[in-house]
């Protein structure tokens, strides 16, 4: 078991991040991560897209809310 980023924000965290979910998952796949979390601030608008993108490349999605 390696490192798993658990505090990750996407474009849906206003003024906190500009990374798209697709780009986030692509980078995680490049780094060969087993799991990846999405913990946007105050909303879960990207949860379904994040889940589908992760499953599409074999990464275990972890959903949260900050």
Given its phi and psi angles, is residue 42 left (phi above 0), alpha (psi -120 to 50 degrees) or beta? left
**Is 0.85 surpassed by the pTM of this model?**
yes
pLDDT digits (tens, 9 = 90+) for 28-61: 999 999 999 999 999 999 999 999 999 999 999 9
């Amino acid at each position: 078991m390696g490192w798993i980023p658990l505090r990750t924000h996407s474009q849906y965290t206003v003024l906190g991040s500009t990374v798209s979910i697709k780009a986030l998952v692509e980078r995680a796949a490049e780094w060969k991560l087993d799991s990846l979390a999405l913990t946007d601030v105050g909303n879960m608008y990207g949860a379904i897209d994040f889940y589908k993108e992760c499953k599409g490349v074999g990464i275990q999605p972890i959903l949260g809310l900050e």
